[in-house]
């Protein structure tokens, strides 16, 4: 008989108390939890890292951040996507569908000058204010239309003998002065009539 067998035979008649068994079970549970928690934390950290990198890649891929906006198109409100990119000059791209399901794209941009003469990129609020101004539409059929939010005017027959049409619109407490020329150019101001 080996020593191991002798020890087993000698101690087989002894029984451990229930309290020792509880402590042993708690110790095993704690050890299991210790091994499990670092894995959970690693998975969570990996998910956060992947989401963070994906959002950075998304922003870098489109050149700016896309924002859902609502604007007026030919007298009707439409939902649109605004993408603003600011480098030296702010540029923006707007994409939307009209009521017929046709996709339209607009773009623009520029800079603003501070009172001290320094230039800066346009803010998103300034871009939105610019898109909210009235606009002229010189159509292929020869008609000329003015759109100011829900207001729609055809001014085709309003040109004088010099080929100029002056339109003044009141909207939301603002006055807009529109000067249109038959050659397809025009100006829009909220201060006075301007010549293009």
pLDDT on residue 7 = 64
Considering the entire predicted model, what is its pTM?
0.57
Domain-embedded: residue 5:
no
Ranges under pLDDT 50 in the chain: 57-62
Query: How many domains are there within the chain?
Result: 3
Q: Would you state the pLDDT for residue 30? A: 56
In a domain, 168, yes or no: yes
Taking residue 186's Cβ as centre, other Cβ atoms within 10 Å add up to: 22
The whole-number pLDDT of residue 176 equals: 93
Determine the pLDDT at residue 60.
47
Residues spanned by the domain of 58: 16-62
* 39 in a structural domain: yes
Confirm whether 165 is domain-assigned.
Answer: yes
Sheet holding 76-86, edge to edge: 65-73, 76-86, 90-97, 103-113, 119-121
């Amino acid at each position: 008989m080996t020593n191991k067998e002798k020890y087993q035979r000698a101690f087989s008649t002894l029984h451990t108390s229930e309290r020792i068994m509880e402590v042993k079970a708690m110790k095993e549970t704690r050890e299991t939890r210790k091994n499990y928690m670092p894995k959970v934390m690693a998975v969570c950290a990996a998910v956060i890292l992947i989401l963070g990198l994906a959002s950075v890649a998304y922003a870098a891929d489109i050149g700016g951040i896309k924002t859902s906006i609502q604007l007026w198109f030919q007298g009707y409100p439409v939902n649109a996507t605004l993408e603003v990119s600011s480098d030296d000059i702010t540029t923006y791209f707007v994409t939307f569908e009209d009521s017929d399901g046709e996709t339209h794209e607009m773009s623009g941009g520029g800079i603003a000058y501070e009172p001290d003469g320094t230039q800066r990129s346009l803010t998103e609020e300034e871009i939105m204010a610019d898109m909210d101004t009235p606009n002229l539409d010189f159509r292929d059929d020869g008609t000329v239309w003015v759109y100011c939010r829900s207001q729609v005017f055809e001014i085709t027959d309003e040109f004088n003998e010099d080929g100029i049409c002056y339109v003044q619109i009141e909207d939301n407490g603002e006055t807009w002065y529109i000067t249109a020329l038959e050659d397809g150019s025009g100006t829009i101001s909220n201060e006075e009539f301007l010549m293009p």
